[in-house]
């Protein structure tokens, strides 16, 4: 491990629906570029889905069409694969790992604590391995992930949370934000910890998170960022099914090209864009 460096790798967190059959691909070519372009060896993990073979076949085809050196696929039917020597060897060869969609609770229950998960985290942190996730694979990136939410009103009972893989700290990620109105579950989640950022990513839209803590939006839709540092909340005083009060949350709506600093918690406007009032 001569090339071990301090600092984390880059993340690409996709809001789902980055349709591999699409003729006008935006997100996946960028994923390939971040994984090393034509020299990329992509390890696609279908851990979140119960029928991984179709997904793996589709992604293999699209990545080969875009042009990579190798597509490695692991179905992750159960935890034994996370200890398997062949799979571990694939992880060592990979220049990028992609967690695809399905059920986020499968990701943590099948993957977390395995040799694979530990080595993946180590390679991300020490060797700056590129890691991407879509849909459930995106939700699992945050330290706390939403595993259920009915989109009802804003209360603690509206969401079930579980520990995520923790690749993006102090945040709750929700996906498919354009298809299903999910503001309620994001706000219910971050109400319980106002230090958390709520990040809602539209389908066919992604955030690239650099080790510096700067994220950039790409894709067709927008990214909502809810900054939960409210001036007033009643969360500690109400029962689980009682509606929450949250005052002075901030919300930013960011399309392609816009960014956000996770350090300063400020949006970044692309150069050349006029600010209102200028």
**Position among 181, 212, 261, 264 found at the interface with a second copy (CB under 8 A):** 181
Sketch the per residue contact string, 219 through 238, with a second copy: x for CB under 8 A, - otherwise. -xxx-x-x---xxxxx--x-
Nearer to a second copy, 3 or 273 (CB): 273
Sketch the per residue contact string, 120 through 149, with a second copy: x for CB under 8 A, - otherwise. ------------------------------
**Position among 183, 192, 193, 213 found at the interface with a second copy (CB under 8 A):** 183
Between CA 256 and CA 268 the distance in angstroms is 11
Near a second copy by CB under 8 A, which window of 16-24, 43-51, 130-138, 265-273? 265-273
DSSP string of 95-151?
A: SEEEE-SS-HHHHHHHHTTSHHHHHHHHHHHHS--EEEEETHHHHTTBSEEEEEE--
Note whether 46 binds a second copy by CB under 8 A. Answer: no
Best CA proximity match to 189, nearest among 215, 218, 231, 150 = 150
Q: What are the structure tokens assigned to 207, written together? A: 């955030």
**216 phi and psi, to 5 degrees?**
-130, 140
Closest approach of a second copy to the CB of residue 13, in Å:
17
Note whether 202 binds a second copy by CB under 8 A. Answer: yes
**Position among 144, 184, 196, 216 found at the interface with a second copy (CB under 8 A):** 184
Sketch the per residue contact string, 57 through 76, with a second copy: x for CB under 8 A, - otherwise. --------------------
Contacts of 148 (CB under 8 A, 6+ apart): 159, 160
Contacts of 44 (CB under 8 A, 6+ apart): 55, 56, 59, 60, 63, 71, 72, 73, 74, 98, 100
Note whether 246 binds a second copy by CB under 8 A. Answer: yes
DSSP class of 186: H
**Position among 154, 165, 197, 209 found at the interface with a second copy (CB under 8 A):** 154
Class of residue 128 by CB neighbours under 10 A (exposed 0-12, middle 13-18, buried 19+): middle
3-state secondary structure of 71: strand
**Position among 113, 151, 157, 163 found at the interface with a second copy (CB under 8 A):** 151
Q: Which residues sit at the interface with a second copy, rule CB under 8 A?
A: 151-154, 178-184, 187, 191, 194, 202, 205, 220-222, 224, 226, 230-234, 237, 242-256, 258, 267, 269, 273-277
């Amino acid at each position: 491990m001569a090339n071990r460096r301090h600092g984390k790798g880059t993340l690409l967190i996709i809001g789902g629906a980055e349709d591999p059959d699409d003729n006008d691909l935006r997100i996946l070519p960028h994923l390939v570029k971040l994984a090393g372009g034509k020299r990329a060896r992509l390890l696609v993990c279908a851990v979140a889905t119960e029928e991984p073979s179709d997904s793996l076949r589709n992604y293999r085809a699209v990545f080969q069409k875009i042009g990579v050196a190798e597509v490695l696929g692991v179905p992750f039917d159960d935890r034994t694969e996370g200890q398997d020597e062949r799979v571990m060897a694939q992880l060592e060869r990979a220049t990028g790992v992609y967690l695809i969609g399905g059920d986020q609770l499968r990701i943590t229950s099948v993957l977390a604590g395995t040799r694979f998960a530990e080595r993946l985290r180590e390679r991300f942190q020490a060797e700056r391995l590129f890691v991407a996730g879509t849909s459930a694979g995106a939700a699992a990136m945050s330290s706390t992930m939403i595993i259920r939410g009915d989109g009802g009103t804003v209360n603690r009972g509206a969401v079930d949370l579980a520990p995520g893989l923790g690749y993006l700290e102090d945040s709750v990620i929700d996906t498919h934000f354009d298809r299903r109105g999910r503001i309620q579950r994001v706000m219910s989640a971050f109400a319980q910890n106002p230090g958390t950022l709520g990040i809602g990513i539209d389908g066919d839209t992604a955030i690239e998170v650099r080790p510096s803590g700067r994220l950039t939006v790409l894709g067709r839709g927008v990214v909502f960022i809810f900054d939960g540092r409210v001036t007033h909340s009643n969360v500690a005083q109400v029962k689980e099914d009682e509606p929450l009060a949250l005052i002075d949350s901030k919300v930013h709506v960011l399309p392609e090209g816009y960014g956000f600093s996770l350090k300063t918690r400020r949006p970044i406007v692309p150069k050349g864009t006029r600010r209102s009032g200028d």
